[in-house]
Structures are given as C-alpha cells and as structure tokens.
A and B are shown apart, each in its own frame.
Chain A
Amino acid sequence: LAKTTQPISMDSYEGQEVNITCSHNNIATNDYITWYQQFPSQGPRFIIQGYKTKVTNEVASLFIPADRKSSTLSLPRVSLSDTAVYYCLVERYGGSQGNLIFGKGTKLSVKP
C-alpha cells in the first residue's frame, strides 16, 4: 500500500478552518483514502473516506485532486474539542484491510 506523509503537528485557534494535507504519491487505482481521529486515552475514530473529488459529512470534508497523489482533510470552524491526532491512511478495495498503516499522524492543537 502507498505510504502516506502528513505534518507532525499543526496549531489553530477556535473558529478557524483547518486543512491537513496528506501525500500519497504511490497510490494505486484501487486504493482509497481514509482519515481517523484519536483523542488521548481513546482508540482512533473513523472520520471520513473517499476515492476522488470531494466528500463531505457532518464532521469534515475530504478533497482529493484528480491525480489523487494527495488529499486534504478540512475541519470547518474548529473548537477546543477538535484537539486530537489525525491519521491519513490508504486502503485497498477488496483487500485484507487488517494491516492498516497509521503512521504518526498530525497532532492538531486548537487554542482559545
């Protein structure tokens, strides 16, 4: 599976929009992108998943350009409770999804 690269940390303030970009240069045709969020002392929690263009749910938006070599997780109007680590993963359609590679993630700190 394609390796992902994302910033180690980001800082933001309450009410701002936060965009976290993930690189996955070697993504394959049958791969898709998934983002997880992890709060301290909790397991990761699924946020959003997409293959191309734009996906939006009640939590976030995911933007994937045509070449799919990167993706951007967008969190609108963050609050203090959005402080967490965000992981970008590449998964394969129909593959054994057990061996997901999380990496170190991006530690987002939201300040008042």
Chain B
Amino acid sequence: SQTIHQWPATLVQPVGSPLSLECTVEGTSNPNLYWYRQAAGRGLQLLFYSVGIGQISSEVPQNLSASRPQDRQFILSSKKLLLSDSGFYLCAWSVQGGTDTQYFGPGTRLTVL
C-alpha cells in the first residue's frame, strides 16, 4: 500500500531564516506531487505541483520554491521566511494521468516569528 510522509511535523522559525520541508511517497512510482498551504484552518491554496522529476509548476508567485530531486521526493523551500509564510503545509500525491484521488500527508505546522 502507498504511504506519504512529511517532516518535520512542526517547525518554528525566525523571520529571514531558510526553510526546507520534505515529502516522500512510498509504494508507488511516478506519482503527481502537490504542495498546498492552509491558513487559519480553512481553505487550501495550491502552491506547486509536479508531474515528474525536475518538472515543477508554480501556481502562486511567492517567497517559496519547490524541487523534485527524486521520483517520490518533493521539497518545499525558502531562502528567507516571511511572517506571512506561517501556516499548515500539506503534501499530496495522485496517480499520474488519470482522474484519481489525491492523498494527503499529515502536514507540517510552520510558525514564523
């Protein structure tokens, strides 16, 4: 069966510091991968998605970037965090090329102080 992992689970960082959040998927090959941000426990904002290694699409111009160095690894980064980067970050995967469901990881709670 497939599983998706995210770490760290929680993170507190000062403004201006760098960020690296990691997401990995097990039990499947060549998945679509997604990064979402959820603010204030409500709506989801799609940040990035990837259909393959090195292929990243950005949905919203911002202070963040994403990379996919391996087939089942998706990384969210920032060089300098802003207060507005605080939120709950969710990674998800889906089967490529179909109508299939997205499956979500447990999330990372980021607080920027």
- Check if A and B associate: no
